[in-house]
Amino acid sequence: MPDSEDARRSWELLLRQMLGEEGAREALEALEAGGFDPAGMAEATGLPMDPASLQAMMLQMQRLMATGGDDVVNWDLARDIARQTAHTGGDPSLTTAQASRAVSALQVADLWLDAATDLPPAGGGRSAWSRAQWVEGTMEVWKRLTSPVATSVADALAGVIAAQQADLPIQEGGGEMLRRLGGSVFGMQVGQAAGTLAREVFGTSDTGLPLVEGHGTALVVSNVAAYAEGLDAGPEEVLQLLAVREAAHARLYAHVPWLRPHILGLVEEYARGISIDVDRMEEAVRSIDVTDPDALRSALSGGVFAMEVSPEQAAALERLETALALVEGWVEDVAGRAVAPHLPHAVPLREMLRRRRAAGGPAEHVFATLVGLQLRPRKLREAAALWGSLVAAGGPEQRDALWEHPDLLPQADDLDDGAAFLARRRFAEESEAELDAALAEILGGEQPDGEQPPSS
């Protein structure tokens, strides 16, 4: 067992880091008055006794607690954890040839898409990314989507720990310290989640959400190559299909200016309504080892969100699911038309991608863990069929024109009855044409015999 005096010194240093000089002294005195055994507790928690190990632990705690400005989360730490996680299993640097093939595939994708949609190329750069580059490219959006939940988790954790330690003198500054601790632990979860996704995604738009700023396109080359292994289609064909889908997503988000803020806003609206299951958090906190940040993260990763969904959240979720289904359905229709003349395995490859998405996977788990959101666009096939019907009825122009305003888009019920939606569209167009003709005649159109109407 560690020497009692050494153990007391170690605990004093730890508490001083957390509570300050005066708070640490008072906390240690209160603990000892209650029968606290520094040596026994140090052995039970693994608190290091030697100065070097203790200093390393202190630096880790300082880094965990460090945040920038008013942020409750240490986003630098989240980014580092994301990069480390993305590198698990390797993240090889791209060769010049690999990067060239990916960029060339994105260039060809835009040429093929020109024949399938009137929306022009997204603009911006075309890139070949490593997994670490995907992390860097998406971190700002991760920050935006998870910040509301991070604040809720941090506040709840601070309250839980303060309630459990009410007899200890954790006073001035202690509550804010606990809040930052909770927020930083949640930030570690964000990093773990982003890094996990970086090992799975093909580009910037696999989740359906616009996870990058700007309007460029990118492919994560190592993930594309791993997916192509073992498929009947050759790797170049797989690469080209994924490039077309990536470029189609980018065109839509680039040239429908209201779409990106609309979808991200729905995720934020849902996240702001999240309530924390305090009972589950209390149970998790009982086993927390304050010397081990990973243990803190694991304790909260078991799930701390209440299962009950408010009416406002349910409405936001339905709108989000419908919007994602419409985005994915449009991409499915446009990409399918673009690749059909060029890729011999296009049909089976597209079906494999649909099944991969329908089965869920890392993206669904990540958003369920971070914002309590079951991110799976339902009715994707129905949405794709509806877009296809619009093309059959009036060409790509009629399909793409619906993105001009959110009020023009099909609603959730329309995806269940696409024929009725098309009938309403035809009726509205005919009525508008009749009205335009009547107005033209009233406002001075030519008479049937070619004479101008008499002046009044």
Q: Over range 68-87, report the average pLDDT.
A: 82
pLDDT given at position 287: 59
Tell me which H or E stretch contains 164: helix 131-164
Q: Which residue has better confidence, 168 or 246? A: 246
pLDDT in tens, 231-264: 889 999 999 999 999 999 999 999 999 999 999 9
Q: Tell whether the model's pLDDT for residue 64 goes beyond 50.
A: yes
Q: How far is CA 263 from the centre of its chain?
A: 11
Least confident stretch, 155-164, 239-248, 356-365: 155-164
For 94-116, give the DSSP string: PPHHHHHHHHHHHHHHHHHHTTT
Q: Tell whether the model's pLDDT for residue 45 goes beyond 50.
A: no
Q: Tell whether the model's pLDDT for residue 340 goes beyond 70.
A: yes
Task: Judge whether 327 and 259 are in contact, CB under 8 Å.
Answer: yes
Q: Which residue has better confidence, 328 or 291? A: 328
pLDDT given at position 183: 74
pLDDT in tens, 262-314: 999 998 888 888 777 777 777 766 655 554 556 666 666 655 555 567 888 88
The residues, any chain, with a CB within 8 Å of residue 345's CB and separated by 6 or more, are 232, 233, 237
Q: Tell whether the model's pLDDT for residue 1 goes beyond 50.
A: no
Per-residue confidence band for 172, with pLDDT thresholds at 50, 70 and 90 = very low
Provide the β-strand partners of residue 127: 218
Q: Would the pTM of this model clear 0.75, i.e. be above it?
A: yes
Q: Tell whether the model's pLDDT for residue 13 goes beyond 80.
A: no
Q: Tell whether the model's pLDDT for residue 43 goes beyond 90.
A: no
Q: How far is CA 91 from the centre of its chain?
A: 21
User: Looking at residue 443, what DSSP letter applies?
Assistant: T
Q: Which residue has better confidence, 326 or 27? A: 326
Per-residue confidence band for 41, with pLDDT thresholds at 50, 70 and 90 = very low
Least confident stretch, 122-136, 196-210, 303-317: 303-317
pLDDT given at position 242: 98
Per-residue confidence band for 166, with pLDDT thresholds at 50, 70 and 90 = low
pLDDT given at position 199: 93
pLDDT given at position 344: 95
To the nearest whole number, what is the mean pLDDT of the chain?
80
Percent of the chain surpassing pLDDT 90: 38
The residues, any chain, with a CB within 8 Å of residue 11's CB and separated by 6 or more, are 28, 38, 41, 42, 47
Question: Per mean pLDDT, which of 140-154, 205-219, 230-244, 294-308 is the most reliable?
Answer: 230-244
